[in-house]
Amino acid sequence: MTKLNQRVLYFFIGFIFLSGAVASIYGFINSFQRLMVAFENHESVIILEKGRYYLLGVGLGLSCGVFGAFYEKVMNINPSQKIINIVGVFLFSSFVLMLVMPQVIGYFAESRLEERGYRYCSELSRAWLINKDIAYVKDESLCVVGDKTP
């Protein structure tokens, strides 16, 4: 494989990872914005999509990885120790954000919802691996799945 073909391949792979990074950050922002709008509008049912808050760390980590790979493979420049340290700090920070952000947002959202009189609804909540959708209802009569009531 020639150098040009390798660069094109690296560029294409980097584009795929960068697209994943942008989609991850957008997913986080979209979910957080919907939560804030639900808070402001005092909606009767609020779903806390806890699994989506991992995406900020994932997106930032992918962005750092793409930057490092682009710098080294596509531009064919050996990064200095300073750049390696900066990318390492950002990668570590994104990993910490990935682990901490869902817990922090979940804690503050749950405490604010309970202060406003919302109650947890297990019938509307669901969980699969790290993806948890936690439902809170203003009125217990809204906690219904199909024809069943709590």
Higher pLDDT, 114 or 127: 114
In tens, the pLDDT along 18-39 reads: 999 999 999 999 999 999 999 8
Bridge-partner residues for 47, per DSSP? Answer: 135
Compute the mean pLDDT over every residue in the chain, rounded to the nearest whole number: 86
pLDDT bin (cut points 50, 70, 90) of residue 150 is very low
In tens, the pLDDT along 80-120 reads: 889 889 889 999 999 999 999 989 998 998 899 989 999 99
The pLDDT assigned to 146 comes to 63
Any residues with CB less than 8 A from the CB of 12 and at least 6 apart, and which? none
Q: Is the pLDDT of residue 147 over 60?
A: no
Any residues with CB less than 8 A from the CB of 21 and at least 6 apart, and which? 58, 59, 60, 61, 62, 63, 66
Sequence ranges of the domains in the chain: 3-117
Average pLDDT over residues 68-90: 85
Q: In terms of pTM, does the model score above 0.95?
A: no
Output the six-digit token pair for 15. 């584009």
